[in-house]
Amino acid sequence: MIAALGLVVGIVLGLIFRPEVPVGLQPYLPIAIVAALDAVFGALRAYLDGIFDDKVFVISFLSNVVIAAGIVWLGDKLGVGGQLSTGIVVVLGIRIFSNVAAIRRHLFHA
Protein backbone atom coordinates (compact mmCIF):
# COMPACT_ATOMS: atom_id res chain seq x y z
CA MET A 1 0.00 0.00 0.00
CA ILE A 2 2.73 2.37 1.04
CA ALA A 3 4.65 1.40 -2.15
CA ALA A 4 1.60 2.22 -4.34
CA LEU A 5 1.43 5.58 -2.57
CA GLY A 6 5.08 6.16 -3.38
CA LEU A 7 4.39 5.33 -7.02
CA VAL A 8 1.51 7.79 -7.24
CA VAL A 9 3.52 10.51 -5.49
CA GLY A 10 6.38 9.91 -7.94
CA ILE A 11 4.10 10.22 -10.98
CA VAL A 12 2.55 13.40 -9.60
CA LEU A 13 5.97 14.89 -8.89
CA GLY A 14 7.08 14.08 -12.45
CA LEU A 15 3.95 15.67 -13.92
CA ILE A 16 4.24 18.76 -11.73
CA PHE A 17 7.93 19.52 -12.04
CA ARG A 18 8.23 18.34 -15.66
CA PRO A 19 12.00 17.86 -15.50
CA GLU A 20 13.81 18.20 -18.80
CA VAL A 21 15.48 14.96 -19.90
CA PRO A 22 18.82 15.47 -21.66
CA VAL A 23 18.52 14.75 -25.38
CA GLY A 24 21.19 12.06 -25.18
CA LEU A 25 19.21 10.09 -22.59
CA GLN A 26 15.79 10.43 -24.23
CA PRO A 27 15.94 7.20 -26.34
CA TYR A 28 16.75 5.12 -23.22
CA LEU A 29 13.88 6.36 -21.06
CA PRO A 30 11.15 4.06 -22.50
CA ILE A 31 13.33 0.93 -22.32
CA ALA A 32 14.34 1.82 -18.75
CA ILE A 33 10.66 2.06 -17.84
CA VAL A 34 9.92 -1.37 -19.36
CA ALA A 35 12.82 -2.85 -17.36
CA ALA A 36 11.59 -1.10 -14.20
CA LEU A 37 8.07 -2.41 -14.86
CA ASP A 38 9.47 -5.97 -14.95
CA ALA A 39 11.26 -5.47 -11.64
CA VAL A 40 8.11 -3.99 -10.05
CA PHE A 41 5.85 -6.84 -11.19
CA GLY A 42 8.46 -9.36 -10.04
CA ALA A 43 8.53 -7.66 -6.65
CA LEU A 44 4.72 -7.68 -6.45
CA ARG A 45 4.66 -11.38 -7.23
CA ALA A 46 7.36 -12.08 -4.65
CA TYR A 47 5.38 -10.02 -2.15
CA LEU A 48 2.29 -12.12 -2.79
CA ASP A 49 4.40 -15.27 -2.64
CA GLY A 50 5.58 -14.03 0.72
CA ILE A 51 9.24 -14.02 -0.25
CA PHE A 52 9.65 -10.32 -0.93
CA ASP A 53 12.96 -8.85 0.05
CA ASP A 54 13.78 -5.15 0.15
CA LYS A 55 17.40 -5.48 -0.90
CA VAL A 56 16.66 -7.88 -3.77
CA PHE A 57 13.98 -5.52 -5.11
CA VAL A 58 16.28 -2.50 -5.03
CA ILE A 59 19.11 -4.36 -6.68
CA SER A 60 16.91 -5.99 -9.35
CA PHE A 61 15.23 -2.67 -10.12
CA LEU A 62 18.44 -0.70 -10.50
CA SER A 63 20.30 -3.43 -12.38
CA ASN A 64 17.34 -4.01 -14.74
CA VAL A 65 17.15 -0.33 -15.59
CA VAL A 66 20.89 0.14 -16.00
CA ILE A 67 21.44 -3.05 -18.02
CA ALA A 68 18.46 -2.47 -20.34
CA ALA A 69 19.51 1.11 -21.05
CA GLY A 70 23.14 0.02 -21.38
CA ILE A 71 22.32 -2.69 -23.92
CA VAL A 72 20.33 -0.25 -26.02
CA TRP A 73 23.12 2.31 -25.76
CA LEU A 74 25.64 -0.27 -26.91
CA GLY A 75 23.27 -1.32 -29.71
CA ASP A 76 23.02 2.32 -30.79
CA LYS A 77 26.79 2.53 -30.94
CA LEU A 78 26.91 -0.66 -33.04
CA GLY A 79 24.00 0.39 -35.24
CA VAL A 80 21.61 -2.30 -34.00
CA GLY A 81 19.92 -0.25 -31.25
CA GLY A 82 16.46 -0.80 -32.71
CA GLN A 83 16.82 -4.59 -32.88
CA LEU A 84 18.30 -4.86 -29.39
CA SER A 85 15.55 -2.77 -27.84
CA THR A 86 13.01 -4.99 -29.60
CA GLY A 87 14.69 -8.05 -28.09
CA ILE A 88 14.67 -6.49 -24.61
CA VAL A 89 11.03 -5.53 -24.91
CA VAL A 90 10.11 -9.07 -26.02
CA VAL A 91 11.98 -10.81 -23.15
CA LEU A 92 10.82 -8.36 -20.49
CA GLY A 93 7.31 -8.41 -21.92
CA ILE A 94 7.13 -12.20 -21.56
CA ARG A 95 8.41 -11.95 -17.99
CA ILE A 96 5.91 -9.24 -17.16
CA PHE A 97 3.04 -11.28 -18.57
CA SER A 98 3.97 -14.45 -16.70
CA ASN A 99 4.50 -12.47 -13.46
CA VAL A 100 1.13 -10.79 -13.91
CA ALA A 101 -0.40 -14.25 -14.49
CA ALA A 102 1.08 -15.45 -11.19
CA ILE A 103 -0.19 -12.31 -9.41
CA ARG A 104 -3.61 -12.93 -10.89
CA ARG A 105 -3.62 -16.51 -9.57
CA HIS A 106 -2.75 -15.19 -6.14
CA LEU A 107 -5.40 -12.49 -6.09
CA PHE A 108 -8.31 -14.36 -7.67
CA HIS A 109 -7.21 -17.93 -6.89
CA ALA A 110 -7.77 -18.75 -10.53
Out of 9, 66, 67, 78, the only residue in the binding site for other proteins (CB under 8 A) is 9
x/- string (CB under 8 A) for other proteins, residues 50-89? xxxxxxxxxxxxx---------------------------
Cβ at position 82, least distance to other proteins in Å? 17
Residue (17 or 108) nearer to other proteins, CB: 17
Taking the C-alpha atoms of residue 72 and residue 61, their distance in angstroms, rounded to an integer, is: 17
